[in-house]
Amino acid sequence: MKRQLLSAALVTCLSVSSFAVPALDQTTTVSAATLTTQASQQTVNAKADQLINTAKSLIGKATYSTAVYKPTYPYKFSCATFLMYVFEENGVDLATYNENYMMQQGTPVAKGQWQKGDLLFFKSKTTGTDPDHVAMYIGDNKVIHMADSKQNIVISDMDSKPYYTETYMGARRVIPSLLPANPATTGDKVVSLAYDLKDTATIGSVNNESAKKFTSTGFVNYVYKKNGVNLNATNLKTLQAKGTTVSRSNLQKGDLVFFNSVKGSTNPSLVGIYAGEHRVVIPNSGGVISRVLLVDYYNDHYITAKRVVTNQTDTTPTKPTPPSTSATSADKVVNFATSLTGKAKFGYVYDEKSLTFTGAGFTYYVYKKQGIDLTYKMASQQAKVGTAVAKSNLQKGDVLFFSTDNKRTRITQTGIYMGGNQFISLSTSGTVVKQSLSSTWAKLNYVQARRVLSK
Protein backbone atom coordinates (compact mmCIF):
# COMPACT_ATOMS: atom_id res chain seq x y z
CA MET A 1 0.00 0.00 0.00
CA LYS A 2 1.54 3.29 -1.01
CA ARG A 3 1.64 6.33 1.23
CA GLN A 4 1.89 9.92 0.08
CA LEU A 5 4.77 11.40 2.04
CA LEU A 6 5.90 14.93 2.74
CA SER A 7 9.41 13.64 3.26
CA ALA A 8 10.71 11.11 0.81
CA ALA A 9 13.24 9.97 3.38
CA LEU A 10 10.58 8.77 5.80
CA VAL A 11 8.30 5.83 5.02
CA THR A 12 5.39 5.45 7.42
CA CYS A 13 3.95 2.20 8.75
CA LEU A 14 1.79 0.14 6.44
CA SER A 15 -1.70 -0.96 7.36
CA VAL A 16 -1.80 -3.52 10.15
CA SER A 17 -3.65 -5.93 7.90
CA SER A 18 -0.45 -6.53 5.94
CA PHE A 19 1.46 -7.88 8.95
CA ALA A 20 2.31 -11.51 9.58
CA VAL A 21 2.72 -11.52 13.34
CA PRO A 22 2.76 -14.86 15.16
CA ALA A 23 -0.12 -15.62 17.54
CA LEU A 24 -1.95 -12.34 16.88
CA ASP A 25 -5.21 -11.63 15.13
CA GLN A 26 -5.74 -8.05 14.03
CA THR A 27 -4.02 -6.96 17.28
CA THR A 28 -2.69 -8.18 20.69
CA THR A 29 -2.45 -6.76 24.42
CA VAL A 30 -2.89 -2.52 32.57
CA SER A 31 -7.75 2.79 32.73
CA ALA A 32 -6.53 6.24 32.74
CA ALA A 33 -6.48 7.71 36.24
CA THR A 34 -4.61 10.25 38.30
CA LEU A 35 -1.18 9.57 39.70
CA THR A 36 -2.61 9.47 43.22
CA THR A 37 -4.30 6.16 42.47
CA GLN A 38 -1.83 4.93 39.91
CA ALA A 39 1.91 4.63 39.90
CA SER A 40 3.95 7.46 41.42
CA GLN A 41 5.66 9.95 39.14
CA GLN A 42 9.00 8.47 40.16
CA THR A 43 7.81 5.04 39.07
CA VAL A 44 6.53 6.48 35.80
CA ASN A 45 9.85 8.22 35.14
CA ALA A 46 11.79 5.05 35.89
CA LYS A 47 9.57 3.04 33.55
CA ALA A 48 9.98 5.64 30.78
CA ASP A 49 13.77 5.45 31.15
CA GLN A 50 13.59 1.66 30.83
CA LEU A 51 11.54 1.96 27.64
CA ILE A 52 13.95 4.47 26.15
CA ASN A 53 17.02 2.41 27.05
CA THR A 54 15.51 -0.69 25.43
CA ALA A 55 14.55 1.24 22.30
CA LYS A 56 18.02 2.75 21.97
CA SER A 57 19.65 -0.65 22.50
CA LEU A 58 17.97 -1.87 19.29
CA ILE A 59 19.53 0.80 17.07
CA GLY A 60 21.65 -0.96 14.46
CA LYS A 61 20.19 -4.35 15.37
CA ALA A 62 16.77 -4.16 13.71
CA THR A 63 15.56 -3.58 10.18
CA TYR A 64 12.30 -2.19 8.86
CA SER A 65 9.64 -4.63 7.73
CA THR A 66 5.89 -4.36 7.29
CA ALA A 67 5.55 -8.02 6.35
CA VAL A 68 7.52 -9.77 9.10
CA TYR A 69 7.63 -9.34 12.87
CA LYS A 70 10.81 -10.91 14.27
CA PRO A 71 11.38 -10.25 17.99
CA THR A 72 14.79 -11.96 18.06
CA TYR A 73 18.11 -10.87 16.56
CA PRO A 74 18.33 -9.82 13.77
CA TYR A 75 15.08 -8.04 14.62
CA LYS A 76 12.46 -7.01 12.09
CA PHE A 77 9.83 -4.42 13.01
CA SER A 78 7.41 -1.90 11.61
CA CYS A 79 7.01 1.37 13.48
CA ALA A 80 4.18 -0.06 15.60
CA THR A 81 5.62 -3.53 16.26
CA PHE A 82 8.89 -1.88 17.30
CA LEU A 83 7.13 0.00 20.10
CA MET A 84 4.87 -2.93 20.94
CA TYR A 85 8.04 -4.98 21.49
CA VAL A 86 9.81 -2.27 23.52
CA PHE A 87 6.87 -1.87 25.89
CA GLU A 88 6.33 -5.61 26.22
CA GLU A 89 9.99 -6.17 27.08
CA ASN A 90 9.49 -3.79 30.00
CA GLY A 91 6.31 -5.38 31.31
CA VAL A 92 3.81 -3.02 29.67
CA ASP A 93 1.33 -4.63 27.29
CA LEU A 94 0.15 -2.30 24.53
CA ALA A 95 -1.71 -5.32 23.17
CA THR A 96 -1.74 -4.11 19.61
CA TYR A 97 0.38 -3.24 16.60
CA ASN A 98 -2.40 -1.10 15.15
CA GLU A 99 -1.56 2.60 15.46
CA ASN A 100 -5.23 3.55 15.68
CA TYR A 101 -5.82 1.18 18.61
CA MET A 102 -2.68 2.49 20.31
CA MET A 103 -4.04 6.01 19.96
CA GLN A 104 -7.18 5.03 21.90
CA GLN A 105 -5.22 4.01 24.99
CA GLY A 106 -4.03 6.22 27.82
CA THR A 107 -4.81 9.94 27.96
CA PRO A 108 -4.37 12.69 25.32
CA VAL A 109 -1.39 15.04 25.62
CA ALA A 110 -1.29 18.59 24.25
CA LYS A 111 1.31 19.29 21.56
CA GLY A 112 4.59 20.32 23.10
CA GLN A 113 3.60 19.02 26.57
CA TRP A 114 5.10 15.61 25.93
CA GLN A 115 6.87 13.56 28.57
CA LYS A 116 9.29 10.69 28.16
CA GLY A 117 7.47 7.52 27.15
CA ASP A 118 4.54 9.29 25.44
CA LEU A 119 3.41 7.94 22.06
CA LEU A 120 3.28 10.45 19.19
CA PHE A 121 1.15 9.75 16.11
CA PHE A 122 1.42 10.94 12.51
CA LYS A 123 -0.68 10.65 9.36
CA SER A 124 0.68 11.16 5.86
CA LYS A 125 -2.19 9.51 3.96
CA THR A 126 -4.61 11.88 2.29
CA THR A 127 -7.51 9.46 2.82
CA GLY A 128 -8.96 8.01 5.99
CA THR A 129 -8.72 9.28 9.54
CA ASP A 130 -6.34 6.83 11.21
CA PRO A 131 -2.67 7.44 12.02
CA ASP A 132 -0.10 5.56 9.96
CA HIS A 133 3.06 6.17 11.98
CA VAL A 134 3.94 6.13 15.68
CA ALA A 135 7.04 7.17 17.62
CA MET A 136 8.03 7.42 21.28
CA TYR A 137 9.07 10.68 22.90
CA ILE A 138 12.44 10.53 24.65
CA GLY A 139 12.82 14.13 25.84
CA ASP A 140 14.57 17.24 24.50
CA ASN A 141 12.04 17.52 21.62
CA LYS A 142 13.18 14.15 20.21
CA VAL A 143 11.47 10.87 19.35
CA ILE A 144 12.77 7.39 18.65
CA HIS A 145 11.03 5.34 15.98
CA MET A 146 11.38 2.74 13.24
CA ALA A 147 11.42 5.20 10.36
CA ASP A 148 11.80 3.34 7.07
CA SER A 149 13.84 0.72 5.20
CA LYS A 150 16.76 3.12 4.71
CA GLN A 151 17.03 4.62 8.18
CA ASN A 152 15.56 1.81 10.33
CA ILE A 153 15.51 2.87 14.01
CA VAL A 154 16.49 6.51 14.41
CA ILE A 155 16.25 9.38 16.86
CA SER A 156 14.67 12.45 15.26
CA ASP A 157 14.15 16.03 16.40
CA MET A 158 10.53 17.11 16.02
CA ASP A 159 11.72 20.29 14.28
CA SER A 160 14.15 18.56 11.92
CA LYS A 161 11.72 18.01 9.01
CA PRO A 162 8.36 19.38 7.89
CA TYR A 163 7.02 15.81 8.14
CA TYR A 164 6.99 15.87 11.94
CA THR A 165 4.98 19.07 12.19
CA GLU A 166 2.75 18.80 9.12
CA THR A 167 1.64 15.18 9.64
CA TYR A 168 1.47 15.25 13.44
CA MET A 169 -1.93 14.01 14.70
CA GLY A 170 -1.59 13.88 18.48
CA ALA A 171 -0.02 12.11 21.45
CA ARG A 172 -1.12 9.74 24.19
CA ARG A 173 0.31 9.14 27.64
CA VAL A 174 0.06 5.41 28.26
CA ILE A 175 2.09 5.37 31.44
CA PRO A 176 0.91 5.44 34.19
CA SER A 177 -2.48 4.23 32.86
CA LEU A 178 -0.97 0.91 31.71
CA LEU A 179 0.77 0.36 35.06
CA PRO A 180 -0.90 -1.14 38.14
CA ALA A 181 -2.43 1.22 40.69
CA ASN A 182 -0.40 2.00 43.79
CA PRO A 183 -1.42 0.39 46.07
CA ALA A 184 -2.58 -2.42 43.81
CA THR A 185 -6.29 -3.25 43.67
CA THR A 186 -7.66 -6.78 43.69
CA GLY A 187 -8.25 -6.34 39.96
CA ASP A 188 -4.60 -5.38 39.45
CA LYS A 189 -3.50 -8.52 41.26
CA VAL A 190 -5.85 -10.71 39.20
CA VAL A 191 -4.57 -9.18 35.96
CA SER A 192 -0.94 -9.47 37.06
CA LEU A 193 -1.26 -13.19 37.77
CA ALA A 194 -3.08 -13.78 34.47
CA TYR A 195 -0.20 -12.10 32.64
CA ASP A 196 2.38 -14.08 34.63
CA LEU A 197 0.75 -17.29 33.40
CA LYS A 198 0.91 -16.34 29.71
CA ASP A 199 4.22 -18.12 29.22
CA THR A 200 3.62 -21.08 31.53
CA ALA A 201 -0.04 -22.12 31.43
CA THR A 202 -1.47 -24.58 28.91
CA ILE A 203 -5.16 -24.40 28.02
CA GLY A 204 -6.89 -27.66 27.08
CA SER A 205 -9.43 -30.16 28.37
CA VAL A 206 -8.00 -30.96 31.82
CA ASN A 207 -7.21 -29.09 35.03
CA ASN A 208 -3.90 -29.75 36.77
CA GLU A 209 -2.81 -26.77 38.87
CA SER A 210 0.64 -28.14 39.68
CA ALA A 211 1.37 -28.62 35.97
CA LYS A 212 -0.34 -25.30 35.10
CA LYS A 213 -2.76 -27.08 32.77
CA PHE A 214 -6.30 -25.73 32.70
CA THR A 215 -9.56 -25.56 30.85
CA SER A 216 -10.53 -21.95 30.14
CA THR A 217 -12.94 -22.04 33.10
CA GLY A 218 -10.31 -23.73 35.26
CA PHE A 219 -7.81 -21.00 34.41
CA VAL A 220 -10.23 -18.30 35.55
CA ASN A 221 -11.07 -20.25 38.72
CA TYR A 222 -7.35 -20.57 39.51
CA VAL A 223 -6.43 -16.92 38.91
CA TYR A 224 -9.25 -15.61 41.08
CA LYS A 225 -8.84 -18.24 43.80
CA LYS A 226 -5.19 -17.21 44.17
CA ASN A 227 -6.48 -13.72 44.88
CA GLY A 228 -9.06 -14.76 47.45
CA VAL A 229 -12.11 -15.05 45.16
CA ASN A 230 -13.62 -18.54 44.94
CA LEU A 231 -15.72 -18.79 41.77
CA ASN A 232 -15.96 -22.60 41.68
CA ALA A 233 -17.46 -22.54 38.20
CA THR A 234 -17.77 -25.80 36.29
CA ASN A 235 -18.09 -24.35 32.77
CA LEU A 236 -18.35 -21.04 30.93
CA LYS A 237 -22.13 -20.91 31.32
CA THR A 238 -21.97 -21.21 35.11
CA LEU A 239 -19.07 -18.75 35.13
CA GLN A 240 -21.21 -16.27 33.21
CA ALA A 241 -23.86 -16.51 35.94
CA LYS A 242 -21.42 -15.29 38.62
CA GLY A 243 -21.18 -11.75 39.95
CA THR A 244 -23.15 -8.72 38.76
CA THR A 245 -23.63 -7.51 35.20
CA VAL A 246 -21.70 -4.38 34.18
CA SER A 247 -21.92 -2.36 31.00
CA ARG A 248 -19.09 -2.41 28.52
CA SER A 249 -18.57 1.32 29.09
CA ASN A 250 -18.02 0.69 32.82
CA LEU A 251 -15.50 -2.15 32.71
CA GLN A 252 -12.87 -2.33 35.44
CA LYS A 253 -9.75 -4.44 35.85
CA GLY A 254 -10.70 -7.91 36.99
CA ASP A 255 -14.13 -7.99 35.32
CA LEU A 256 -14.97 -11.10 33.28
CA VAL A 257 -15.93 -10.52 29.64
CA PHE A 258 -17.81 -13.16 27.62
CA PHE A 259 -18.01 -13.76 23.87
CA ASN A 260 -19.99 -16.12 21.66
CA SER A 261 -19.00 -18.04 18.56
CA VAL A 262 -22.30 -17.28 16.78
CA LYS A 263 -23.46 -13.67 16.58
CA GLY A 264 -26.53 -13.06 18.72
CA SER A 265 -26.11 -16.18 20.85
CA THR A 266 -26.09 -15.86 24.63
CA ASN A 267 -24.01 -19.03 25.03
CA PRO A 268 -20.37 -18.13 25.78
CA SER A 269 -17.55 -19.83 23.94
CA LEU A 270 -14.78 -17.53 25.14
CA VAL A 271 -14.02 -15.65 28.37
CA GLY A 272 -11.50 -12.92 29.01
CA ILE A 273 -10.20 -11.09 32.10
CA TYR A 274 -10.45 -7.35 31.55
CA ALA A 275 -7.01 -5.76 31.99
CA GLY A 276 -7.85 -2.07 31.50
CA GLU A 277 -7.53 0.20 28.46
CA HIS A 278 -9.68 -2.06 26.22
CA ARG A 279 -7.43 -5.07 26.89
CA VAL A 280 -8.46 -8.61 27.81
CA VAL A 281 -6.39 -11.65 28.79
CA ILE A 282 -7.98 -14.71 27.20
CA PRO A 283 -7.36 -18.42 27.89
CA ASN A 284 -8.03 -20.43 24.74
CA SER A 285 -6.68 -23.40 22.83
CA GLY A 286 -3.73 -21.33 21.62
CA GLY A 287 -2.65 -20.61 25.19
CA VAL A 288 -3.10 -17.49 27.29
CA ILE A 289 -3.19 -14.47 24.98
CA SER A 290 -3.95 -10.76 25.24
CA ARG A 291 -6.14 -8.79 22.85
CA VAL A 292 -7.90 -5.43 22.58
CA LEU A 293 -11.69 -5.18 22.53
CA LEU A 294 -11.44 -2.67 19.69
CA VAL A 295 -11.05 -5.48 17.16
CA ASP A 296 -14.18 -6.14 15.03
CA TYR A 297 -14.41 -9.77 16.12
CA TYR A 298 -14.76 -8.86 19.79
CA ASN A 299 -17.27 -6.13 18.97
CA ASP A 300 -19.37 -8.57 16.96
CA HIS A 301 -19.24 -11.46 19.44
CA TYR A 302 -19.43 -9.58 22.74
CA ILE A 303 -22.17 -10.95 25.05
CA THR A 304 -21.80 -9.43 28.49
CA ALA A 305 -19.42 -8.65 31.37
CA LYS A 306 -19.59 -9.65 35.02
CA ARG A 307 -17.99 -8.06 38.07
CA VAL A 308 -16.79 -10.71 40.49
CA VAL A 309 -14.28 -8.67 42.51
CA THR A 310 -14.49 -5.42 44.44
CA ASN A 311 -11.63 -3.26 43.26
CA GLN A 312 -10.50 -2.13 46.67
CA THR A 313 -6.92 -1.52 47.65
CA ASP A 314 -5.21 -2.90 50.70
CA THR A 315 -4.28 0.23 52.60
CA THR A 316 -2.99 -1.61 55.66
CA PRO A 317 0.67 -0.62 56.08
CA THR A 318 3.14 -3.43 55.65
CA LYS A 319 4.66 -4.20 59.03
CA PRO A 320 7.95 -6.07 59.20
CA THR A 321 8.13 -9.03 61.51
CA PRO A 322 9.95 -7.78 64.60
CA PRO A 323 13.16 -9.68 65.21
CA SER A 324 13.18 -11.86 68.28
CA THR A 325 15.97 -11.78 70.79
CA SER A 326 17.24 -14.98 69.19
CA ALA A 327 16.94 -13.73 65.60
CA THR A 328 19.66 -14.98 63.30
CA SER A 329 21.73 -12.72 61.07
CA ALA A 330 19.54 -13.82 58.17
CA ASP A 331 16.37 -12.83 60.07
CA LYS A 332 17.82 -9.40 60.77
CA VAL A 333 18.77 -8.89 57.11
CA VAL A 334 15.33 -9.90 55.84
CA ASN A 335 13.48 -7.93 58.53
CA PHE A 336 15.48 -4.78 57.83
CA ALA A 337 15.00 -5.10 54.07
CA THR A 338 11.26 -5.53 54.63
CA SER A 339 11.17 -2.46 56.89
CA LEU A 340 12.33 -0.36 53.92
CA THR A 341 9.14 -1.13 51.97
CA GLY A 342 7.55 2.18 51.02
CA LYS A 343 10.70 4.05 52.08
CA ALA A 344 13.57 3.09 49.77
CA LYS A 345 13.44 4.40 46.20
CA PHE A 346 15.12 3.33 43.00
CA GLY A 347 17.61 5.72 41.41
CA TYR A 348 21.00 5.65 39.75
CA VAL A 349 22.71 6.97 42.87
CA TYR A 350 23.68 5.71 46.32
CA ASP A 351 22.16 8.06 48.89
CA GLU A 352 21.55 6.72 52.39
CA LYS A 353 19.98 9.99 53.53
CA SER A 354 17.15 9.84 50.98
CA LEU A 355 17.23 6.02 50.78
CA THR A 356 17.74 6.16 47.02
CA PHE A 357 19.67 3.26 45.52
CA THR A 358 20.13 0.99 42.55
CA GLY A 359 19.08 -2.60 43.17
CA ALA A 360 22.62 -3.58 44.14
CA GLY A 361 23.03 -0.38 46.18
CA PHE A 362 19.94 -1.38 48.17
CA THR A 363 21.45 -4.82 48.86
CA TYR A 364 24.75 -3.23 49.89
CA TYR A 365 22.94 -0.89 52.31
CA VAL A 366 20.81 -3.64 53.90
CA TYR A 367 23.80 -5.84 54.64
CA LYS A 368 25.94 -2.89 55.73
CA LYS A 369 23.38 -2.01 58.40
CA GLN A 370 23.76 -5.54 59.77
CA GLY A 371 27.54 -5.25 59.90
CA ILE A 372 28.24 -7.15 56.67
CA ASP A 373 30.36 -5.49 53.99
CA LEU A 374 29.53 -6.61 50.45
CA THR A 375 32.46 -4.43 49.31
CA TYR A 376 30.80 -3.34 46.05
CA LYS A 377 27.66 -1.46 45.01
CA MET A 378 27.45 -3.09 41.57
CA ALA A 379 25.55 -6.33 41.03
CA SER A 380 28.22 -7.94 38.84
CA GLN A 381 30.89 -7.27 41.48
CA GLN A 382 28.75 -8.39 44.42
CA ALA A 383 28.39 -11.69 42.56
CA LYS A 384 32.03 -12.40 43.44
CA VAL A 385 31.57 -11.98 47.21
CA GLY A 386 30.96 -14.92 49.53
CA THR A 387 30.56 -18.48 48.30
CA ALA A 388 28.44 -19.88 45.50
CA VAL A 389 25.27 -21.72 46.46
CA ALA A 390 22.98 -23.87 44.33
CA LYS A 391 19.42 -22.67 43.75
CA SER A 392 18.14 -25.90 45.28
CA ASN A 393 20.09 -25.17 48.48
CA LEU A 394 19.15 -21.53 49.13
CA GLN A 395 18.94 -20.25 52.69
CA LYS A 396 17.40 -17.09 54.11
CA GLY A 397 19.84 -14.21 53.70
CA ASP A 398 21.54 -15.49 50.55
CA VAL A 399 22.12 -12.86 47.85
CA LEU A 400 20.47 -13.62 44.50
CA PHE A 401 21.65 -12.30 41.15
CA PHE A 402 19.57 -11.68 38.05
CA SER A 403 19.78 -10.29 34.55
CA THR A 404 17.08 -7.87 33.37
CA ASP A 405 16.97 -8.82 29.68
CA ASN A 406 15.37 -12.30 30.00
CA LYS A 407 18.60 -13.85 28.71
CA ARG A 408 20.54 -14.55 31.94
CA THR A 409 23.81 -13.55 30.30
CA ARG A 410 24.68 -10.39 32.26
CA ILE A 411 24.13 -9.77 35.98
CA THR A 412 22.42 -6.41 36.51
CA GLN A 413 20.07 -6.90 39.49
CA THR A 414 20.18 -8.38 42.99
CA GLY A 415 17.72 -9.76 45.51
CA ILE A 416 17.74 -11.12 49.07
CA TYR A 417 16.35 -14.61 49.63
CA MET A 418 13.61 -14.62 52.28
CA GLY A 419 12.89 -18.34 52.41
CA GLY A 420 9.78 -20.06 51.10
CA ASN A 421 10.87 -19.49 47.48
CA GLN A 422 10.47 -15.70 47.97
CA PHE A 423 12.96 -12.88 47.59
CA ILE A 424 12.93 -9.15 48.23
CA SER A 425 14.59 -6.49 46.10
CA LEU A 426 14.50 -2.84 45.12
CA SER A 427 12.85 -3.04 41.73
CA THR A 428 13.73 -0.76 38.83
CA SER A 429 10.02 0.13 38.88
CA GLY A 430 10.90 2.24 41.90
CA THR A 431 9.86 0.33 45.02
CA VAL A 432 10.87 -2.49 47.35
CA VAL A 433 8.99 -5.60 46.25
CA LYS A 434 8.66 -9.24 47.23
CA GLN A 435 8.55 -11.80 44.44
CA SER A 436 8.49 -15.51 43.90
CA LEU A 437 11.41 -17.33 42.33
CA SER A 438 8.73 -19.19 40.36
CA SER A 439 7.52 -16.00 38.67
CA THR A 440 8.04 -15.72 34.93
CA TRP A 441 10.48 -12.83 35.37
CA ALA A 442 12.59 -14.70 37.92
CA LYS A 443 12.69 -17.86 35.82
CA LEU A 444 13.88 -15.90 32.80
CA ASN A 445 16.47 -13.83 34.67
CA TYR A 446 17.86 -15.84 37.63
CA VAL A 447 21.63 -16.31 37.21
CA GLN A 448 23.18 -17.40 40.51
CA ALA A 449 23.30 -16.99 44.30
CA ARG A 450 26.04 -16.27 46.87
CA ARG A 451 26.13 -16.97 50.60
CA VAL A 452 27.57 -14.05 52.55
CA LEU A 453 26.25 -14.89 56.02
CA SER A 454 27.59 -17.38 58.53
CA LYS A 455 24.68 -19.08 60.26
The per-residue pLDDT for range 352-378, each reduced to its tens digit, is 999 999 999 999 999 999 999 999 999
Q: What is the pTM of this model?
A: 0.62
DSSP string, 145-168: EE--TTT-EEEEETTSSHHHHHSE
| Residue range 312-325: mean pLDDT, rounded | 42
Quick check: 62 pLDDT over 90?
Answer: yes
Q: Which residues contact 280 (CB under 8 A, 6 or more apart)?
A: 29, 257, 272, 273, 274, 290, 291, 292, 293, 298
Q: So what's the architecture of 16-173 in CATH?
A: Alpha-Beta Complex (3.90)
| Residue range 144-152: mean pLDDT, rounded | 96
Residue type, 61: K
In eight-state DSSP terms, residue 12 is: P
State the pLDDT at residue 249.
87
Class of 186-307 in CATH: alpha beta
State the pLDDT at residue 455.
57
Q: CA 127 to CA 142: how far, in whole Å?
A: 27
Decide: helix, strand or coil at residue 413.
strand
Quick check: 15 pLDDT over 70?
Answer: no
Q: CA 392 to CA 447: how far, in whole Å?
A: 13
Q: What value does the CA radius of gyration of the chain take, rounded to a whole number of Å?
A: 23
Q: Which residues contact 53 (CB under 8 A, 6 or more apart)?
A: none
Cβ burial of 443 (10 Å; 0-12, 13-18, 19+) is: middle
State the pLDDT at residue 32.
32
Quick check: 425 pLDDT over 80?
Answer: yes
Using pLDDT thresholds of 50, 70 and 90, give the confidence band for residue 56: very high
Cβ burial of 195 (10 Å; 0-12, 13-18, 19+) is: buried
Query: Is the model more confident about 407 or about 38?
Result: 407
Using pLDDT thresholds of 50, 70 and 90, give the confidence band for residue 238: very high
**Domain boundaries defined on the chain:** 16-173, 186-307, 329-451
CATH of 329-451, one of 3.40.50.720, 1.10.357.10, 3.90.1720.10, 3.40.50.300: 3.90.1720.10
DSSP H stretches of helix in 121-250 = 162-166, 186-196, 216-225, 236-240
| Residue range 22-43: mean pLDDT, rounded | 45
> Residue 339: which H helix or E strand, with range?
helix 329-339
If you average pLDDT over each of 13-22, 31-40, 385-394, which comes out highest?
385-394
Domains 16-173 and 329-451 share a fold: yes
Segment among 136-145, 181-190, 230-239, 334-343 with least mean pLDDT: 181-190
65-82 pLDDT, tens digit per residue, is 999 999 999 999 999 999
State the pLDDT at residue 327.
63
State the pLDDT at residue 83.
97
